[in-house]
Structure formats: structure tokens, C-alpha cells
Amino acid sequence: MSSALPKIELHVHLDCSLSSTVVHRLRPDIGFERYRQTFVAPPKCTDLRDYLTRALKGIELMQTAEALRLVTLDLFDQLQADNVLYAEIRFAPLEHLRGGLAPEQVVQTVADAVREGTARTGIPAGLLLCTLRHYAEAQSLDTARLAERFAVAGFDIAGDEAGYPVDNHIAAFRHAHAKGIPCTAHAGEALGADSIWETLRHFAPRRIGHGVRCTEDPALVDYLKKRRIHLEVCPTSNVQTNVYPTMAGHRVDDLYRSGLSLSINSDARTISDATLNGEYQALRDVFGWDDRHFLHCNLEAVEHAFAPEALKAGLRQRLRQAFEHPGPVRR
């Protein structure tokens, strides 16, 4: 059973992962049906830009310190239900200033809530700060400086890949690299191989968020393999944003068979109505994946996690033990 497997989650957006429970707590007038209608996207969106319009609903509710805390703790409950051993949680702090919070307050609040969530659930987690494609250069650089100030686990760029070039974000990634901050970057989702090449050239990330359209260029696949650049693959999200017409048409099995380093992730749990348990079960049903596939992907996730080596060593041991001796994972 997929629900019994321990999992690593490297790609999940905090502000796109509000359960109906926490939404109702923050807005008691929003019942389950209204939640489904306004926060969850249809199974097939026009494209990434259409998909991202749903993110605004969650962000609107996350404009106070208490709301940020509750949403973060709610995500830990979801991770626990998915039997996650380690997670990296990302969000764009500059999206949460409308209620009067300063950027530093936003990051501090979420960082504190991550520590609280870890204490409650036993799930260690790293925090990644995102700049967004539509940001000005100053906003992007400010986000990188926040990542430095709070010594978070990593730095990322998300948003409308097709609508905005890389130019405004080169300085931010240079700053992150200069300060030793690990970087990942969304690419190869709304656009193809050329976008991934551009992202690699200008941002030099260790990982690529999504990256699934690398299959359009065999030379790029070879490059990613040789450089051991990890792909954070989110199957349901990719189908929903129309990268692929159906799950059966997804290239995740081809990516795996090619020898690329990849992990399976939920991305935006609210918008996609996704869980890791569901992602794993879909890969079983559609591609015939079994425990060997999932163990390999989780070990790759640990290898490429922005986490201390001591933590990684413990995660590897727990994964191997759980897969070799099936049964409840003890925290």
C-alpha cells in the first residue's frame, strides 16, 4: 500500500496547500463545497498561468502571523498523513505583506511554525524561499537576502515561466550562490528544453522544479545525468497544467528509465487536490511502479535534499529499513 511507504517531499508550496479544515478555521463562512469550487482547480487547466490563478485564494488568507502559523501546521498534518519522513517547504514571503507584516516577520513566523510542526510530528523540514518570475530585480534580490539572513535551507524561483524572462533574477541567484545558499529553480514546465538550458546557464541550480520537458532534447537529458541535477517531478500537477494530456502520457517512467535523478512530489496540494499517497498510487496503477521504484526515488531525494549530512544518513537508514522490512514506520 502506498500509504504505508515512508516518503521524502522536496517540492511542496506552502501557500498552495491549505486543507479545507484550515480554510474553514480562517474563514468560517467557507464550507467544503465553496472550498472545492474556489481553491481547487479543475482536473485540466488551460496552462500553467490558468492553474496559478487558484493560488491567489490561499495567499489572500495568509496575511497575518497567526494565519501563517496555522497554515504551516496544517501542512505538517498533511505530511504526517502521507508518512513523510522529511520535507522541504517553499513559499514566496513577499506575497504575505498585505496585512502589514514586514518581510522579516513573515519569514520568522513561518520558520518558527516549521520548528513547531517538527516538534509536534517528528518530521524534520527545511524552508525554501521563492522569488517569482514576475518580480522586479530588487524584489528578487530582497528575497535572496532574506534567505541569507534567516539561513533557510534553500532558494527557488517559481511562477509564470512562459510569461517572464530570467533577466530580473540573475543577481538574486548570484547572491545566493555567493552566500552558499543551495538553489533550485522551476523550469521545463510551461516551456520546453530551451527554458531549462537558460535556467541552468543563468541560475546554476542543483535541482530543477519539474524539468519534465527535458525529454524534448536528448543532449539536455545527457547533461542533467552527467551533472547529477535532480528533477522534482510532480505528476498530477503536470497533467493538470496541460504539460501532458493524461497521466498515461506523462514521461515520468521514461525519465526514470533514462537514469535521471528524480523524486515524486505533490507540488500544490490544494490546487491539484493531491497527496503523495495519491501520486504513488497513480504511478503504480498507470506505470506498474513498485517499491523498488519508490525506494530509489526517495533515496535520490535524500541525496539531493538541502539538508545536513547527518540527517540524510538517518533518513537513508530509515528508508532502507522500512522498504526491506515492511510495516509501520516508527518516528
Taking CA atoms, 315 is separated from 86, 117, 167, 326, in Å, by: 8, 18, 37, 16
221 vs 213: CA distance, rounded Å: 10
Selected catalytic residue, list 9, 88, 189, 300: 189
Largest CA-CA distance found in the chain, in angstroms, rounded? 53
**Residue 137 catalytic?**
no
Residue given cell 533515496 in the structure block = 299
Active-site annotation, residues: 189
